[in-house]
Amino acid sequence: MSRVQVEFCYGKDYRITYGRKVEEYIADFCLVSRNALTPLEYDIFRFHYILGADWKLCCWRTQIDRGSFFHIVYKIEQKLGRIFRELEPHGLFPLDEYFGGTMRNDRPNRAVALLPRRAPARVLRPPMGLSAA
């Protein structure tokens, strides 16, 4: 069982959100896999990677030979690896991009945001040419 994680969203509205990041990742992982693979590839993916069955049980269950099984496994790894990396707006791999990098659970210093902004300083430009005086 995972915990609910509270996140502070920095932006115009400054909102606090919460969610179960691990469950969201698992759901995204399974849905992307199901949409990207053919029914046979998804069956092998589910039996071999999700449920942990060895190649003998997968071959018996899907009624394919050993060579075809491993060719399909390599194809699954190549296809899903590319999709997980290039998925938008955030890839499923590497994990820090999915989970948003470094998460801070402390509140930002609001006093800094409330200070009035100063006008930009004027740049002093001395004359560059020589004048005849």
pLDDT, one tens digit per residue, over 9-18 is 776 776 777 7
**Dihedral of the CA atoms 69, 70, 72, 74 (nearest 10)?**
160
Report the chain's mean pLDDT, rounded to a whole number. 78
Cβ-based neighbours of 90, under 8 Å, separated by 6 or more: 97, 98, 100
Structure tokens at 57: 């049980």
- State the Cα–Cα distance between residues 46 and 35, nearest whole angstrom: 13
Give 53-83 as a 3 state SS string: CCHHHHHHHHCCCHHHHHHHHHHHHHHHHHH
C-beta of residue 16 within 8 angstroms of C-beta of residue 24: no
pLDDT in tens, 46-101: 999 999 999 999 999 999 999 999 999 999 999 998 888 888 777 777 776 666 65
Flag whether pLDDT at 130 surpasses 70: no
In the CATH hierarchy, which fold is given to the domain comprising 5-99? Arc Repressor Mutant, subunit A (1.10.10)
Alpha carbon 86 to its chain's center: 10
Cβ-based neighbours of 62, under 8 Å, separated by 6 or more: 40, 43, 44, 47, 69
3-class secondary-structure state, position 114: helix
